[in-house]
Amino acid sequence: MKKLKRLIGALGMLAMLVVVLTACGSRQSLAKQDVLTNDKASKTITWGVKADTKLFGLMDVKDNQIKGFDADIATALTKRVLGKNATAKFVQVTSQTRIPLLKNGNIDAIIATMTITPEREKQVDFTNSYFDAGQSLLVKKGSAIKSVKDLNKSGTKVLGVTGANSVENIKKAAPKAKVLELSDYAQAMTALKSGQGVALTTDNGILYGMASQNPGYEVVGGTFTKEPYGIAVNKGQEPLKKALNKALKEIEADGTYNRILKKWFGNVAGFDYKEASR
C-alpha cells in the first residue's frame, strides 16, 4: 500500500512538472513566432511601457490608463502598422522586467525609455531611435551640486534605478561617488527627498518630468551622455522591426511625431522642444 502511495505521489509530481515545462515552452515558442503575423490577425500590438515615469508613461489613477509620450507614440505606430482601427495594448514594465517580459512573449515590443546600447543589442533588436535623450542630474534647489564633476568625491551618494543604463554611466563619470540603486523612479525620488543622496541621475527627459511634479527640485549640469531611445523587439522579429521603422518614418514625416512631442514636452521648463523635434 505504501509503495502504491509513493508511486501515485511520484506520478503526480511528474504530471505537475510536465505542465510547468509545457507552459514555459509555450511562452518561449510564442516569442519565437512571427509576431507581426499574429498582431495582424488580432489587430493588436502589445507594448511594454513604464507606468511610473511622468511625460513618458505614467498611470492615471482616475481611469487606470497609462499616459505619456511613449504611450502616444506606440498608439500612433500601431495604427500605421495595423490600420486605424487597431489597438495598442499596454503592459506595465520596469527597467528590470522589460527584457524578461519580451523574451517570455508577454509583450511584442518595448517602448519604455530604453537606451540603445551594445550590451542590450546582444539580447534584443532595436528600431531606429525615436527620442534623443542625455543623462543629467536632479537636485534640490540651492544644492551645491551643479554638474557631474561635483559628484566625484569620496562619500558622495548618488541615486539611480536598478537596470537603467544611467547607473553604469555615473560610475564612469564620477567613480569616487557611491551609487545607491532603487527599484523604480518613485522610490528614487523619495530617497532624494529624504537625503539618502545628493542627486538623482537618469535621462534628462525623465528628470524634467520628475522636476515638474516636485517644484523644489531642478535639473542641473546639462547632459553628459547621449542616450538614444529605441523600440526593442525579440531577436528574429525582422518583419516587425521593419514595419515599426517604416511607421516611425511616416509619423516623423507627416508631423504626427512633433505634435505628440509638443503635447508632452512643449511647456516643460528647461526642455528644448525645438532641438528634440524631427
Nearest to 93 by CA among 232, 209, 261, 202: 232
Q: How many Cβ atoms sit within 10 Å of the Cβ of residue 240? A: 24
Q: Which domains does the chain have, with CATH numbers?
A: 34-132+229-276 (3.40.190.10), 135-225 (3.40.190.10)
What order of strands is seen across the sheet that includes strand 57-60?
Answer: 52-53, 57-60, 65-67
CA-to-CA distance for 243 and 146, rounded, in angstroms?
43
pLDDT at 83: 97
Q: What is the b/e burial string over 47-69, where b = at least 16 CB atoms within 10 angstroms of the residue's CB?
A: bbbbbbbbbbbbbeeeeeebbbb
Q: Grid coordinates standing for 100? A: 524578461
This prediction has a pTM of 0.81
Q: What is the pLDDT of residues 132-149, one digit of tens each?
A: 999 999 999 999 999 999
pLDDT at 66: 98
Q: Grid coordinates standing for 239? A: 518583419
Q: Can you tell me the mean pLDDT for 201-221? A: 93
Q: Can you tell me the mean pLDDT for 182-192? A: 93
- Position 163 confidence tier, pLDDT thresholds 50, 70, 90: confident
pLDDT at 30: 54
Q: What is the pLDDT of residues 19-49, one digit of tens each?
A: 434 444 444 455 578 999 999 999 999 999 9
Q: Can you tell me the mean pLDDT for 244-269? A: 96
For the chain, first and last CA: distance in Å?
Answer: 76
Amino acid at residue number 245: N
CA-to-CA distance for 232 and 128, rounded, in angstroms?
10
Q: Can you tell me the mean pLDDT for 138-166? A: 94
What is the pLDDT of the chain when averaged over all its residues? Answer: 90
